Homo-oligomer: A and B are copies of this chain.
Amino acid sequence: MKKLALLTSGGDAPGMNAAIRAVARTALYNGLEIFGIRRGYQGMIDGDIFKMETTSVSNIIQRGGTILKTARSKEFLTLEGREKAYRQLKQHDIDGLVLIGGDGTFKGANVFFKEYSLPAVGIPGTIDNDIAGTDYTLGFDTAVNTAVEAIDKIRDTAEAHDRIFIVEVMGRDAGYIALNSGIACGAEDILVPEQASDINVILERIGNDKRRKKLVNIIVVAEGDDFGGADALRIKIMEHLPELDVRSTILGHIQRGGSPSYFDRVQASRMGYAAVNALVSGQTQVMVGLENQEIIYTSFDHAIKQHAPLDMKMLEMAKILAS
């Protein structure tokens, strides 16, 4: 193995730049050449590929986003697209790939490997923390902290006005962000995609709070909850309790950006370092993961399966603590 290429794919996540730095520096330290591919698989197809030096990754460990940019590529889903991509890589004599992204990224890598046998190692980078085979995906820690800082601010104004606030956080299929930000902010209710939500239970809880003259309520809802998000839930509550002052807010894309937390930077460094070492030592089609604080490797096949279920006991605990 002499020449590696590196890309970021799927939604961006804080820590991707720290992983890029670690991959580049570790490759160079091992005497390899390292190439950056811009805009994920689409850039691979388009040949948007450049040689990286140690200074290419200076001063990026603390930056949000990804200097390699990211994109979703429909063309890579086609046979022709992947063929183009392969030819671009061969032009640079690339003999190994490091892929930072989510399960879509690793699915693509699996298909590509079957066709062209180019070794690839993956790094889980998604704020949702919902990939099997790892306790942690890059960006989650920062994203939850960002959500928590925002909800803390909303609580200030909720308390000043005795309002109920419904805050929608990211998570189409997974409630990790909602669960953790909800507990951390002392939310009175937390709604996640993994559990059916019952409007009557929510209304009863609000009713109880009213009787106790507890007029402030923060409800954290994942975007993938079956109510359909914060606005839908607000309308439903106000149908039943029109006298209440209920507001909703969607935190949105601020959760993806920002300078990564120390934890994201350290894990990104470890994962990037481990990914290159894995490729060099002959591993392929594996994702670097974290288990019990140690680096482990999982096959792409396993990683793209459904993630482990949310710990529902944490939801129970949250309700007890917010009572």
Interface residues of A (CB under 8 A from B): 8, 11-12, 14, 16, 21-22, 25-26, 29, 39, 54, 59, 61-66, 69-71, 135, 141, 144-148, 150, 152-157, 159-162, 165, 180-181, 183-186, 247, 249-254, 256-259, 261-263, 265-266, 269-270, 272-273, 291-293, 314, 317-318, 320-323
Query: Who on chain B is nearest to A157 by CB?
Result: B256
The smallest beta-carbon distance between A316 and chain B, in angstroms, is: 10
Q: CA–CA, A61 to B165, complex, Å?
A: 18
Q: CA–CA, A253 to B262, complex, Å?
A: 19
The smallest beta-carbon distance between A140 and chain B, in angstroms, is: 10
Identical copies in the complex: 4
Q: CA–CA, A61 to B186, complex, Å?
A: 7
- Are A259 and B152 neighbours in the complex by a CB distance under 8 Å? yes
- Are B249 and A250 neighbours in the complex by a CB distance under 8 Å? yes
Q: List 20 A-B contacts (CB under 8 A).
A: A25-B321, A64-B153, A65-B155, A141-B262, A145-B145, A148-B262, A148-B265, A154-B253, A154-B257, A156-B256, A156-B258, A165-B253, A180-B262, A185-B265, A249-B254, A250-B250, A269-B317, A269-B318, A273-B321, A291-B292
Q: Contacts A135-B293, A185-B62, A253-B249 hold; do A320 and B29 have CB atoms under 8 A apart?
A: yes
The smallest beta-carbon distance between A170 and chain B, in angstroms, is: 11
The smallest beta-carbon distance between A155 and chain B, in angstroms, is: 7
Q: Contacts A25-B323, A54-B323, A265-B184 hold; do A159 and B247 have CB atoms under 8 A apart?
A: no
Partner of A261, one of B145, B160, B317: B145
- Are A156 and B266 neighbours in the complex by a CB distance under 8 Å? no
Q: CA–CA, A305 to B11, complex, Å?
A: 45
- Are A59 and B159 neighbours in the complex by a CB distance under 8 Å? yes
Partner of A145, one of B262, B320, B322: B262
Q: CA–CA, A241 to B98, complex, Å?
A: 35
Q: CA–CA, A203 to B71, complex, Å?
A: 24
A261 contacts across to B, CB distance below 8 A = 145, 148, 261
